Amino acid sequence: MATTDFKDYYSILGLTKTASADEIKKSFRRLARKYHPDMNPNNKEAEAKFKQVSEAYEVLGDPEKRQKYDQYGQYWKQAGEARSPGAGGVDMGGFDFSQYGNFDEFINELLGRMGDTGTTSRSGSSRSYSYRPGGGFSDFGFNDFGNNYEQPANVDREATVSLTLGEAFRGTEKRFTIGTDTVDVKIPAGVKQGSKVRLKGKGQINPATQQRGDLYLVVELKPHSFFQFEGENLVCEVPITPDEAVLGTAIEVPTTEGKVTMNIPAGIRHGQTLRLRGKGWRNAKGERSDQMVKIAIATPKEITATERELYEKIRDNRTTNPRSNLAQIML
């Protein structure tokens, strides 16, 4: 590989050499989603970027390959092949490794050509070096050479599947077109926002091995007009009238499986939450969480003459003052 062909995989992923494995994975997923051909149809530039990002992750996402890449830089592939049986005599990007006793000798001679005075002859080198991306050489021992070069691993892909709350709760079946394949996918009941459904062998084709990675469908839930999530539970808001709040009542509340009757205790406060046990979301084991019902006291904007007369009578005969504790408050 010529020096001008060197690809800085860290730079491609927008990272530094100190990046953790988790940071590498997160950066790859973000960039792969950004440049994925499905998200950028007929965009050759995005397609090229996607290939670069995938290639970078194939190396940096594999601890063994990353170690070789960090150690040998642009020569990381040759480093593995140089120790493979029968690899001698192969022209590795313009360098014939068969003429050297080991990789140290090749590096030392290369540095000697560059005028580095710290190197010695092939037969008795006092130091050995590895080229680091971004320039410069650093010490390493020939025993750290690593294993034979392996073909890049399969590349997994992610795609978004948008579901209504009902589809997610009960489970559904969706049809996808992946390349030339049409696939019917069963979405299990109880998936939530961010859940992943794996399609084995439907990912990106590895050009080196012709094997395919997996495709992960990431669930995206459409907003619902009544239900929302709060942790594992479902939450909703139900309005009641002022007289229902004062006197108490029984009301019907929608759940995921129809309406149920809920008792509202007398004197309930605005914003107070009541619990419907076992009426929430279904998990993978079939267990149900709870549905939390937040009470909202709805004050009428328009009232009849009779209602006004009765409210005025209540006001004139009220025996409690909810603001009595405010009289003693001061700075």
Q: What is the rounded CA–CA span in Å between residue 149 and residue 78?
A: 8
**pLDDT: which is higher, 182 or 155:** 182
Q: What is the rounded CA–CA span in Å between residue 116 and residue 123?
A: 17
Please give the model's pTM, rounded to 2 decimal places. 0.51
Q: What is the rounded CA–CA span in Å between residue 161 and residue 167?
A: 11
Residue 42 has pLDDT above 90, yes or no: no
pLDDT band at 165 (very low <50, low <70, confident <90, very high): very high
pLDDT value of residue 79: 62
Report yes or no: 147 and 140 within 8 Å, Cβ to Cβ. no
Biggest CA-to-CA distance, the chain: 110
Q: Which CATH class is domain 157-221?
A: mainly beta
pLDDT value of residue 223: 93
Q: What is the rounded CA–CA span in Å between residue 136 and residue 145?
A: 19
**pLDDT: which is higher, 146 or 330:** 330
Task: Indicate if 157-221 has the same CATH topology as 3-144.
Answer: no
Amino acid identity of residue 99, one-letter, is Q
pLDDT band at 156 (very low <50, low <70, confident <90, very high): confident
Residue 73 has pLDDT above 60, yes or no: yes
Q: Which residue has the tokens 């080198």?
A: 125
In sequence order, the 6+-apart residues with CB closer than 8 A to the CB of 65 are: 58, 59, 76, 150
pLDDT value of residue 118: 41
User: Domain spans of the chain?
Assistant: 3-144, 157-221, 228-316
* CATH classification code of 3-144: 1.10.287.110
Say how many C-beta atoms besides its own lie within 10 A of residue 170's C-beta: 14
- DSSP, collapsed to helix, strand or coil, labels residue 91 as strand
In eight-state DSSP terms, residue 83 is T
The H helix count followed by the E strand count for the chain is: 9, 15
**CA distance to 197, 227, 237, 280, 282, per residue, from 190 (Å):** 12, 15, 22, 11, 5
**pLDDT, tens only, 220-237:** 999 999 999 999 999 999
The superfamily CATH assigns to domain 228-316 is Urease metallochaperone UreE, N-terminal domain (2.60.260.20)
Report yes or no: 25 and 61 within 8 Å, Cβ to Cβ. yes
**pLDDT, tens only, 97-122:** 455 554 555 555 555 544 444 433 33
Q: What is the mean pLDDT of residues 59-72?
A: 85
pLDDT band at 327 (very low <50, low <70, confident <90, very high): confident
pLDDT value of residue 229: 93
∠ CA 117-119-125, rounded to 5°: 155
Whole-number percent of the chain with pLDDT over 90? 39
Q: For the ranges 47-56, 109-118, 183-192, 218-227, which has the lowest average pLDDT?
A: 109-118
In sequence order, the 6+-apart residues with CB closer than 8 A to the CB of 312 are: none
Residue 87 has pLDDT above 60, yes or no: no
Q: What is the rounded CA–CA span in Å between residue 257 and residue 166?
A: 10
* Antiparallel, parallel or unpaired: β 215-221 and 258-264: unpaired
Q: Which two tokens stand for residue 254?
A: 């929608």
Residue 277 has pLDDT above 90, yes or no: yes
Q: What is the rounded CA–CA span in Å between residue 206 and residue 209?
A: 6
Say how many C-beta atoms besides its own lie within 10 A of residue 206's C-beta: 17
The rounded Cα 31 to chain-centroid distance in angstroms is 11
The mean predicted confidence, pLDDT, of the chain is: 78
